[in-house]
Structure 1
Amino acid sequence: MPRRRTPALLACALLTAGLVGCSGDTGPARPQAVPTQAPAATTPAPRVPAGTAPERAFAVGVRQLKLNRDGDRPLPVTVWYPAAGKAGGEPERSAGAADGRFPVVMFSHGLGGRPADYETLLTRWAAAGFVVAAPTFPHTSRGTDTNVLDVLNQPADVSYALTQVLALDGKAGDPLRGRLAGDRVAAAGHSAGGVTTIGLFTAGRDERLDAGVVFAGTALGVGTAFAGAAAPQLFVHGEADEVVQYAAGKEAYDKVPWPKAMLSLPNGDHGRALLSDGAALRVVSDTTVEFLRWTLYGDEAAKRRIPTDAARGDIAVLDNRL
């Protein structure tokens, strides 16, 4: 996605108002303009052909990539991936990759967060047969200036990081050489990372993406002009969210023109359930795994399991339009 520096003042004002509850002090912004026109969205069935997701669980490896976009946006990326060995236990640093070719999921953290905060969820995705790559953003992660307006630059960061991650598939000597299914890619994110994710399907549409998962997100700043080929979306939102109102997430969800579902947690807050194990996280992780199995492996049986996983324990309610 090309970088643009024309100010988008209205978008920035809306973004600040919508996400100030999970941000710190903001510094000077370098927002990108939202393009005035985007390719029209299409609504046919997902483009990933029918297939079967792995039935077994994998061990999980973890590694770090040191990336930098344009020389002034450092983007260290944490990568969790299916590893050789016995499933279960903690992720093993630089473990050998499991045999197979695995879809890729790009994950964007929230304001004041880091990828490691979401390790419990993301390692479950990796154990299910996905390579999960999560950038640490230069101005919205913990320990930075926590500049909320820089969220508008993050869709381009994710697209850049995705290009670098996919390049590992052909890099001689890399542990992930020949292990990445570069034609099967999803984006996911929480809070400001949810805004980032929506942006990857709207103003900053990355046509490599086949699906999206939005946790406690809103379209403020990136718009709802969903563009390009059909890419199913799963929204997850707590109805008691104290930072991004449930209605804001539902409004963005309603604008999605493709196959979609919304997992609503009546007692859910802004996302603490994503950060530690518990009944709510198990419902969320199981539902998202089946969604990713369907959208990235083409597994129709996984699609049929989504309503059952979502209803477990009466913790959530699913609006299913997949």
Structure 2
Amino acid sequence: MRRRPVALATAAALFGAGLTGCSEPTAPTGRPAPDTPPTTTAPTPRVPAGKAPTKSFAVGVRQVKLNRDGDRPLPVTLWYPAEGAAGGAAERSAPAADGRFPVVLFSHGLGARPEDYQVLLTRWAAAGFVVAAPRFPHTGRGGDGNPLDVLNQPADVSYVLTRVLALGEKAGDPLRGRLDPERVAATGHSAGGVTTIGLFTAGRDERLDAGIVFAGTALGVGTAFAGAAAPQLFVHGEVDEVVSYAAGRAVYDAVPWPKAMLSLPKGDHGRALLGDGRALGVVADTTVEFLRWTLYGDPAAKKRLPADAARGGLATLDDRL
């Protein structure tokens, strides 16, 4: 995607602060009063009504080495529903379970790796989703840490999606016949949240049916959401010390489609994804139900969302779905 010069200096200052930081929160910034929900009828999501799997799956994991344009190496970790008993650790190259599963793309934060988020991502796979998580060449751990390369990442993710979906048609590939190209979501944390927002704005990928943004901002990618209605779930800590809650809320308010925002009053920039077991449980349950609704079309999952979000009093849900 094209870079926007007017945003570069500000983006560098923000991203340079460390978009995967998980330091202790300082003082709450406070939650702005929610806007009045729109009175017009929200656009209808594209995925037809259906039913998500009721069982949990064992999880398999493998890596696929990709490279966009020859100079952007993008090793992709795939977590997927596998044969065998559920509940154990992900098994490398385990045979895939029978069925055709929606695909969920996940973009990591600055200086991070896909495996840093494996607790959440394996939970998605166990619920019946194939998760594809690229490691970006400049913002991943071990890269040069160039924060402005975030603006190139939406195109990386679209490339990864094309190549991963091709595995479902490739003779001899373990995922042949297991991927549903008509049911796809993009998700991401921090810098990966920026990447995800970009996939629905300036770099809109029309194959995407839904999005989940963890601690994200629209800096550099804008809020001109475009294309067919794609429900969005925002997850943000109210004491986020890197991307302010107000910044995340501003992007959420700009979304014209069905949407919800899970707010964690004591949540910082990353603990709910990387360390805090109780908060991670709420985030995992809520995001699983959101994906079940948006990608399987399961109306029962949508009805369960508010209860999952409220469990334990750790979060609140602004529900405009």
Deviations 1:276-308 (A, max 9, x none): 361100000000000000000000000000000
Counterpart position of 2:280: 281
Matches within 5 A, 1:310-321: 310-321=309-320
TM-score after normalising by structure 2:
0.92
Contact 1:239 1:264 in 2 (8 A): yes
The DSSP-based 3-state class of the residue aligned with 1:313 is: helix
- Inter-partner Cα distance in structure 1 for 2:224 and 2:42: 13
- Inter-partner Cα distance in structure 1 for 2:145 and 2:14: 15
**Percent of pairs identical after alignment?**
78
Report the CA distance between 1:18 and its aligned residue: 2.5
Matches within 5 A, 1:68-217: 68-217=67-216
Report the CA distance between 1:20 and its aligned residue: 2.1
- Inter-partner Cα distance in structure 2 for 1:89 and 1:44: 40
Range moving further from structure 2, 286-295 or 43-52: 43-52
Q: Which amino acid in the other structure matches residue 17 of structure 1? A: A
Deviations 1:217-254 (A, max 9, x none): 00000000000000000000000000000000000000
Gaps of 5+ in 1: 25-41
Contact 2:19 2:191 in 1 (8 A): no
- Regions of 4+ moved over 6 Å: none
Contact 1:194 1:218 in 2 (8 A): yes
Counterpart position of 1:32: none
- Inter-partner Cα distance in structure 2 for 1:23 and 1:251: 18
Contact 1:140 1:151 in 2 (8 A): yes
Gaps of 5+ in 2: 21-40
Counterpart position of 1:50: 49
- Inter-partner Cα distance in structure 1 for 2:7 and 2:253: 20
Cα pair distance change 1:274/1:309, threshold 3 Å: same
Report the CA distance between 1:19 and its aligned residue: 2.1
Range moving further from structure 2, 8-17 or 55-64: 8-17
Q: Which amino acid in the other structure matches residue 11 of structure 2? A: L
- Inter-partner Cα distance in structure 1 for 2:160 and 2:284: 24
- Inter-partner Cα distance in structure 2 for 1:286 and 1:276: 16
Counterpart position of 2:217: 218
**1:18 and 2:17 matched:** no
Q: Which amino acid in the other structure matches residue 281 of structure 1? A: L
Deviations 1:169-195 (A, max 9, x none): 110000000000110000000000000
Q: CA RMSD in A?
A: 1.3
TM-score after normalising by structure 1:
0.92
The DSSP-based 3-state class of the residue aligned with 1:237 is: strand
Q: Which amino acid in the other structure matches residue 280 of structure 2? A: L
- Inter-partner Cα distance in structure 2 for 1:13 and 1:321: 34
- Inter-partner Cα distance in structure 1 for 2:19 and 2:157: 20
Contact 2:262 2:317 in 1 (8 A): yes
Residue correspondences, number? 301
- Inter-partner Cα distance in structure 1 for 2:139 and 2:14: 15
